[in-house]
Amino acid sequence: MALIEAASPHTMNTYGRVPIALSHGQGVYVWDVNGKRYLDALAGIAVNTLGHAHPKLVPALQDQIAKLIHTSNYYHIPLQEQLAAALVELSGLTNAFFCSTGLEANEAALKLARKYGHDKGIERPEIVVYEKAFHGRSIATLSATGNTKVQAGFGPLVEGFVRVPLNDIAALKKATEGNPNVVAVFFETIQGEGGVNPMRAEYLRDVRALCDQKDWLLMIDEVQCGMGRTGKWFAHQWAGIQPDVMPLAKGLGSGVPIGAVVAGPKAAHIFQPGNHGTTFGGNPLSMRAGVETIRIMKEEGLLENAARVGAHLKASLEKALAGVKGFKEIRGQGLMLGIELDRPCGALVGRGAEAGLLFSVTADTVVRLVPALILTQAEADEIVALLVPLIKAFLAE
């Protein structure tokens, strides 16, 4: 191991860290400070879309840093307009707001929904959220999150949420029946932190129809599953629907902090000057990272790659783990996969690092793989070769 456990005496004790320290990367590989190489199947938690040190991204960011990093939203920022136009084209929506993180994008979505209600004369708007959801760790977004561990110790929670189970349209109708205060339905197309739990396409279409019928906003958190990860630009596009509000972050800047809320006609004009803003949001460096990420993804066919290599990875893992006692199932799509075991398996993360493979375990029992979208089939095979023996040995204990 590269570092001893107590190697961070001056940072707050907020993370259970794997005892390694990384020094540099290339493609899907990273090296620690002792020169040991790892295949990075976590990609900064679905952030490093283009892998590390991408030869087209690096010079573009260097060029931008030398021109302008930050100016403030006191002024027009042409790169904001450029990235907004790209996101509008990819999503079919109409306008974007920029911020710096996922929770900030979700916070903006929640404010949009509340103001949508107030503008309609609803004084105490309520938003439908889901069991096992994860939307961030600010007070409002942890209140929307469906995980008592994330909420513990931070009450009182923000009110105005109605919680429902996944993929159950009858439960959604029942939970909102006769409630005139509902203004929006808010979920991840594929829950990430909650254990890689997909919403079914039919359910997505049913919720879209219900939102149209009731005049609610459909708000889809694509912070983790968006930006090409599943093989479409946004995961809800597999169901052929469009949301009214779509928060993005993680993969949008390939590692440069960035968040966005993209909205359609029902929600795009709710905010007026003075309603919302953030100092770092939309700065030229993060906007350039977003513009270049999309350009490079298109040039290199990374949607198609994520779909093809992801399907290969899923099939290979399913084949290798079939019949293994303690293996339950593999969920997810493209390069967002969760391997569910029948027991808590956090211990696998450290063993993976020892074996030269980086990944995470989420929801206690789910091995999560969210590698860079540049992953090749040979690299996917390497993941399988490293991971399967670890899981088999763990389950045999």
Ligand X SMILES: *Cc1c(COP(=O)(O)O)cnc(C)c1O
| Closest C-alpha among 137, 362, 389 to residue 249 | 137
Take residue 223 and report the two structure tokens written for it: 């912070």
Binding of ligand X by 106 (CB under 6 A): yes
CB of 163 to ligand X, least distance (A): 16
223 binds ligand X (CB under 6 A): yes
Q: Does 206 bind ligand X (CB under 6 A)?
A: no
Cα dihedral 232, 235, 237, 240 in deg (nearest 10): 140
Sign of the alpha-carbon torsion through 242, 246, 251, 256: positive
- The single residue among 101, 189, 197, 293 that binds ligand X, judged by CB under 6 A, is 101
Using CB under 6 A, pick the residue from 28, 79, 96, 103 that binds ligand X.
103
Rg (CA), the chain: 21
Q: Would you state the structure tokens that stand for residue 31, as one six-digit string?
A: 């090296």
Q: Which residues contact 184 (CB under 8 A, 6 or more apart)?
A: 113, 116, 125, 127, 128, 211, 216, 217, 218, 219, 245
Nearest distance from residue 332's CB to ligand X, in Å?
Answer: 13
Residue of 40, 107, 221, 292 that binds ligand X (CB under 6 A): 221
Which residue lies nearer to ligand X by CB, 184 or 321?
Answer: 184
Q: Scan residues 13-52 and list those touching ligand X (CB under 6 A).
A: none
For residues 30 and 225, which CB has a smaller minimum distance to ligand X in the complex? Answer: 225
**Please, what is the minimum distance in Å from the beta carbon of residue 227 to ligand X?**
12
Angle at 151 between CA 148 and CA 152, to 5 degrees: 80
Q: Which stretch binds ligand X (CB under 6 A): 133-141, 157-165, 230-238, 320-328?
A: 133-141
Site for ligand X in 226-285 (CB under 6 A): 249-250
Q: Give yes or no for residue 333 binding ligand X (CB under 6 A).
A: no
Verify binding: residue 84, ligand X, rule CB under 6 A: no
The minimum distance between CB 160 and ligand X, in angstroms, equals 18
- Min separation Cβ 140 and ligand X, Å: 12
Q: What is the rounded distance in angstroms from the CA atom of residue 261 to the CA atom of residue 263?
A: 6
* Site map 135..154 versus ligand X, x via CB under 6 A: xx------------------
Residue span binding ligand X (CB under 6 A) among the ranges 7-15, 91-99, 219-227, 260-268: 219-227
Residue number with CB closer to ligand X (305 or 360) = 360
Q: Is 224 in the site for ligand X (CB under 6 A)?
A: yes
Pick the piece of the chain touching ligand X (CB under 6 A) from 60-68, 102-110, 123-131, 381-389.
102-110
Give 229 or 288: the residue with its C-beta nearer to ligand X: 229
Residues 358, 363, 369: CA angle, nearest 5 degrees: 30
Q: How many residues sit close enough to ligand X to count as binding (CB under 6 A)?
A: 15
How far are the Cα atoms of 46, 255, 290, 303, 317 from residue 369, in angstroms, in the given order? 9, 17, 23, 17, 11
Nearer to ligand X, 176 or 224 (CB): 224
Q: How far is the CB of 48 from ligand X (least distance, A)?
A: 14
Q: Choose between 40 and 221: whose C-beta lies nearer to ligand X.
A: 221
DSSP H helices, the chain, are: 43-46, 57-67, 78-91, 102-119, 139-144, 148-151, 169-176, 201-214, 284-299, 302-321, 347-355, 377-395
Asked if 102 touches ligand X (CB under 6 A), the answer is yes
DSSP string, 172-239: HHHHHTT-TTEEEEEEESEESTTTSEEPPHHHHHHHHHHHHHHT-EEEEE-TTTTTTTTSSSSGGGGG
Q: Which residue in the set 97, 134, 186, 327 belongs to the binding site for ligand X (CB under 6 A)?
A: 134
Give the span between the Cα atoms of 359 and 343, in whole angstroms.
17
Q: What does the buried/exposed string (b/e) look like for 237-248 if buried means 16 or more CB atoms within 10 Å of the residue's CB?
A: bbbebbbbbbbb
Choose one: 83-91, 130-138, 151-159, 176-184; the region binding ligand X (CB under 6 A).
Answer: 130-138
Q: In the complex with ligand X, which residue's Cβ is closer, 221 or 292?
A: 221
Q: For residue 105, give both structure tokens.
A: 């994008």
Angle of helix 201-214 versus helix 169-176 axis, rounded to 10: 20
Position of minimal CB gap to ligand X: 102
Q: Which residues bind ligand X (CB under 6 A)?
A: 101-103, 106, 134-136, 188, 192-193, 221, 223-224, 249-250
